[in-house]
Amino acid sequence: MNKFLPFALPDIGNEEINEVVDSLKSGWITTGPKAKQFEQDFTNYLQQEGNIGLQALAVNSATSGLHLALEAVGVKAGDEVIVPTYTFTSTAEVVRYLGAIPIFVDSDPKTLNIDPRLIKQKITEKTKAIIPVHFAGLAADMDEIIAIAREFNLKVVEDAAHAFPTYYKGKLIGTLDSDVTVFSFYANKTMTTAEGGMLVSKHSDIIERAKIMRLHGISRDAFDRYRSKTPAWYYEVIEPGFKYNMPDICAAIGLQQLKKIDSFYDKREKMAKRYDIELANLPIELPPRSEELNSTHAWHIYPIRLKENINITREEFILKMSEKGIGCSVHFIPLHRHPVWRDMYKLQSEDFPIAEDVYHRIVSIPLFTAMTEDDQTRVIMAIKDILNNV
Ligand SMILES: *Cc1c(COP(=O)(O)O)cnc(C)c1O
């Protein structure tokens, strides 16, 4: 019997281990030189086509980054923020942190990204921002979303937790004309720092604000501006800020993961192509082909959809895969189905027909760079075996 193949695993090599050990031995384990270097390397990666004045702030999660981003663009209590229902709860919870109201929108049936055609009808006097999510690693319809934001004077904060790296119309996510973009380095994302995230923006006022709020609302700069001989111990707290900084131990992992991101990407793409070919003639719908959608695909996840009217439920499929020693997952349980959002905003399943339909049929199958070709063969054989017998 083969070992159980989990749905995802991080891909950590000796490079990451040695870099972390270096931090541990250096005497500096929290935010310091490695976090700064990681921010620099990350902006360099995003700006490989040329400097557009991007700045990056390393944070301890994408959730923290999204919170800082919304705060920095001026979202306040009572404001409304448009989010997709087809996402992880972070996207909406950060809106609540600020006392603002998440407004949930259904998905494009092909990509499961927020449907721009449905955004306009949800805009009110109170709408302040839109948070598109690039589901699975395929870019949302950013030109449409940014055009709507301009028309109604809204901010755009991209939840790019799945989208590193993703090119939208030839430009990397993180370099588009939104206000802020936030990436995640959670353990199962396309690269990891164990826990962590990166906030990037071209707007120095947003970066300045997020930088202060990232660390307790402490401003050293404000003081330095007025007095030349700042004693090292002195600081001023100018806001009730947060504790969202990334420790160097995490940044150490990120520095080395970032060096591998292009090879990770190639490997993910190769595996996705193999699934595309091997799973083509089964009663499932494969992920949309990105060539038709102005976007490359980061392949954070590979979600398949069981066809309607086949003789196996999604639950049975996942159970059978598990019996064959293979872990699967579901991305996502739409937010309108979770008790907190459903009850707080009286959400009805009928108002989200696309998310509802897809949610019942979707399964994420293993796709991660630490997987071997043999592991992938096992997944393919298992799926064929299950679906050829229904
Ligand atoms: C993983 C994820 C997040 C949260 O990332 P953390 O770094 O764990 O906070 C946010 N949004 C989406 C869509 C995600 O998948």
CATH code for position 380: 3.90.1150.10
62 Cβ inside 6 Å of ligand 1 = yes
Question: What average pLDDT does range 301-317 have in this prediction?
Answer: 96
The tens digit of pLDDT for each residue in 206-224 reads: 999 999 999 999 987 655 5
Residue 6, in any domain of the structure: no
Q: Name the residue of 61, 68, 90, 93 whose CB sits within 8 Å of the most ligand 1 atoms, as the mutation to test its pocket.
A: 90
The tens digit of pLDDT for each residue in 325-383 reads: 999 999 999 999 999 999 999 999 999 999 999 999 999 999 999 999 999 999 999 99
Kindly tell me the burial class for residue 153, based on how many C-beta atoms sit within 10 Å of its own C-beta (0-12, 13-18, 19 or more): exposed
Tell me which of 128, 155, 189, 267 is the catalytic residue: 189
**Do 18 and 99 belong together in one domain?**
yes
**Do 64 and 192 belong together in one domain?**
yes
**Do 92 and 151 belong together in one domain?**
yes
State how many domains the chain has. Answer: 2
Amino acid, single-letter form, for residue 56: A
pLDDT given at position 72: 98
The tokens describing 60, both together, are: 């301890």
Is residue 41 within 8 A of residue 252, CB to CB? The reply is no
- SS3 of 190-238: the string is CCCCCCCEEEEECCHHHHHHHHHHHECCEECHHHHHHCCCCCCCCCEEC
pLDDT given at position 224: 55
CATH code for position 188: 3.40.640.10
Residue 1, in any domain of the structure: no
**Do 169 and 309 belong together in one domain?**
no
Among candidates 172, 184, 179, which has minimal Cα distance to 201? 179
With both helix axes pointing from N to C terminus, report the angle between 62-72 and 204-214 in degrees, rounded to the nearest 10.
Answer: 120
184 Cβ inside 6 Å of ligand 1 = yes
The torsion angles phi and psi of 47, rounded to 5 degrees, stand at -100, 30
Is residue 87 within 8 A of residue 335, CB to CB? The reply is yes
Amino acid, single-letter form, for residue 256: Q
Cα 359 to Cα 45, 214, 335, distances in angstroms: 35, 35, 11
Last residue of a domain, one of 201, 232, 257: 257
Last residue of a domain, one of 257, 279, 303: 257
Residue 381, in any domain of the structure: yes
Q: Please report the atom of ligand 1 found closest to the CA of residue 65.
A: 9
In the predicted structure, residue 291 carries a pLDDT above the cut 90: no
**Do 241 and 323 belong together in one domain?**
no
193 Cβ inside 6 Å of ligand 1 = no
113 Cβ inside 6 Å of ligand 1 = no
**Do 118 and 253 belong together in one domain?**
yes
Task: Quote the domain boundaries for residue 338.
Answer: 261-387
The tens digit of pLDDT for each residue in 88-101 reads: 999 999 999 999 99
Question: What average pLDDT does range 159-178 have in this prediction?
Answer: 98
**Do 253 and 357 belong together in one domain?**
no
**Do 211 and 325 belong together in one domain?**
no
- The pLDDT mean for the chain works out to 96
**Do 56 and 155 belong together in one domain?**
yes
SS3 322: helix
**120 catalytically annotated:** no
Residue 338, in any domain of the structure: yes
**Do 208 and 298 belong together in one domain?**
no
pLDDT given at position 289: 80
Question: What average pLDDT does range 167-184 have in this prediction?
Answer: 98
**Do 253 and 266 belong together in one domain?**
no
Give the integer Cα–Cα distance in Å for 280 and 290: 16
Residue 198, in any domain of the structure: yes
Q: Please report the atom of ligand 1 found closest to the CA of residue 63.
A: 9
Residue 113, in any domain of the structure: yes
Residue 5, in any domain of the structure: no
Q: Which residue has the least CA distance to atom 5 on ligand 1?
A: 62
The tens digit of pLDDT for each residue in 34-78 reads: 999 999 999 999 999 999 999 999 999 999 999 999 999 999 999
**Do 228 and 377 belong together in one domain?**
no
Question: Could you tell me the distance, in angstroms and rounded to a whole number, from the CA of residue 91 to the centre of ligand 1?
Answer: 8
**225 confidence band (pLDDT: 50, 70, 90):** low
132 Cβ inside 6 Å of ligand 1 = no
Question: Could you tell me the distance, in angstroms and rounded to a whole number, from the CA of residue 122 to the centre of ligand 1?
Answer: 24
Residue 2, in any domain of the structure: no
Place of tokens 């090879």: 263
61 Cβ inside 6 Å of ligand 1 = yes
Last residue of a domain, one of 257, 273, 298: 257
Is residue 185 within 8 A of residue 63, CB to CB? The reply is no
